[in-house]
Structure 1
Amino acid sequence: MVILIGNQKGGAGKSTLTLLLANYLTAKHGRKVTVLDMDYQQSVSAKYEKARVLENEVPYEVIPADLAHFPMLLQVLTKNPDEIVLIDLPGKMDDDGLIPVILSGDLILCPFNYDEFSVDSTLLFAMVTAKINNRAPIVFIPNRIKTTVRYNTRVEVDKVMKNFGTVTSVIADRIDFQRVDTIHTPAIVLPVVLPIMDIIYTAHLEKEHKK
C-alpha cells in the first residue's frame, strides 16, 4: 500500500505527520514500513541519519528519493504486498515527475491549517491530486491548530474539503511535536495523535491488511 502525505503549502506539518504515522504503524500494528523522503528539505531523512549515527535500532527505513528514481523504487518496494510505503511529497506541484508518484497512491493524507493561504493551497493540492488519481481517498487533517485561536471559517472550510474527501478531528499545536523522530513519538502527544491514527487505520488500512 502506498500512502502519500502532501500539501502544496510549506509548513503544513507533512514531515512530522509522516513520522507520526510511521511510528504508529510499526509500534502499534507491527507493520513493515518504508518512508520515501521526497521533500526538498529532507527533514525525515536527517532525523533517520541522526538516529543511525547514534546507533539506535531504527524500526523502519527512510530513503531520500529523487522523482526520477521513483518508478524503480516503487517496483522494488511493492513486491511485498504487506509493505506500506509512506511518501513525504515535495511542497510544490509544478513538476511533471510527480504524476507517477500521485498515480501510485492508494491513500492521500493532507495536513492543513485554517488560515486563508493554507486553505487555498490545500484545495489546489486536492484538485490536482484528485484529477490525476481519482481512486485514492483523500483525508484532510487539521494540523498545528492553536487552541487559543478562534477559526471563524472552520465550519465553511470543512464543508468545502468534504467535497474532495474526509476531514478528521484536529491535531493541536504543541511544542512537543518537534521531538518526534524515527525512533519514537513522545508520550505526551500520543493522546492527541492516537485517536486520529486509529480512525485512519480502521477506515483505510485494516481491510487492506486482512485481504
Structure 2
Amino acid sequence: MVILIGNQKGGAGKSTLCLLLAYFLSMLKKKKVTVLDMDYQASISGKFEKAKILENDPIYEVIPSDLKYFPALLELLNQNRDEFVLIDLPGKMDDDLLIPIISSAELIICPFNYDEFSVDSTVLFSLVCREINNLSPMVYVPNRIKTTVKYETREEVDKVLSRFGKISPGISDRIDFQRVGTIHIPASLIPVFMPAMDFIYGSFMKKGIST
C-alpha cells in the first residue's frame, strides 16, 4: 500500500508523522514497512544513518531517493502487496515529477496546524492532489496542538477540510517529539499519537490489506 505524507507548509510535522506511522505499523502492527525519503531536507534518512552508525538494528527500511527514481522503486516495492510504502514528500508542489507519485497513492495523509498559513497551504495541497488523484482517500492530522491555545476557527477549518477527506484525532505539541527517531520513540508519546494512528489504520488501512 502506497501512502503519501505531505503538505506544502514547512513545519507541519510531516517527517515526524511519517516516523510515527512507520513505528506504529512495523512495531505494533507487525507489518513490513519501507520509507521513501523524498523530502529535500532528508531528515528521516539522516536519522536512519545515525541509528546505523550506533549499530542499532533497523525496524524498517529507509531509502533516500530523488523524485525521478520513483517509478523504478515503486515497481520493485509493489511486488509485495502487503508491504506499506510511506513516502515523505518534499515541501513544494511545483515539480512535475510529483505527478506519478501522487497518482500512485492509495492514501494521502496531510498533517496541518490550526493557523492561517498552514490551513491555506493545506487546502492548496489538497486541490493539487485531487486534480491529479481524485480516487484515493485523504486524511488530515491536526498536529502540534497547543493545549494552552484556544482555536476559535477550528470548527470552520475542519468543515473546509472535510470537503476533501476525513480528520483524525489531533496530536498535542510535546517537546519529546524532537527525540523521535527511526528506532526510538519516547514512551511518553505513545498515548499522544496513538489515537490518530488507530484512526488512520482502522479507517483506511486495515480493510485494504490481507490479514
**Under a length normalisation based on structure 1, what TM-score does the superposition of the two structures give?**
0.98
CA contact (8 A) 2:37 2:88 kept: yes
C-alpha distance in structure 1 between counterparts of 2:42 and 2:55, whole Å = 20
Q: Distance in 1 between matches of 2:59 and 2:170?
A: 27
Amino acid in structure 1 at the alignment position of 2:53:
V
RMSD: 0.8
- Structure 2 residue 183 is the aligned partner of structure 1 residue 188: no
Equivalence for 1:153: 153
Q: Distance in 2 between matches of 1:132 and 1:176?
A: 36
Q: Which residue of 2 aligns with 1:208?
A: 208
Aligned length in residues: 211
Structure 1 residues without counterparts, runs of 5 or longer = none
Q: Which residue of 1 aligns with 2:76?
A: 76
The runs of at least 4 aligned residues of structure 1 exceeding 6 Å deviation read none
CA contact 2:32–2:84 (8 Å) conserved in 1: yes
- Tell me the equivalent position of 1:86: 86
**Shift, 1:184, TM fit:** 2.5
Deviations 1:105-155 (A, max 9, x none): 000000000110000000000011011001110100000111111111100
Aligned with 2:95: secondary structure? coil
Equivalents in 2 of 1:160, 1:104: separation in Å?
A: 25
Q: CA deviation at 1:208?
A: 1.5
8 Å contact from structure 2 (residues 169, 199) kept in 1: no
Q: Distance in 1 between matches of 2:18 and 2:35?
A: 8
Could you state the TM-score of these two structures normalised by the residue count of structure 2? 0.98
Identity %: 64
For residues 197 and 67 of structure 2, what CA distance do their matches in structure 1 show? 28
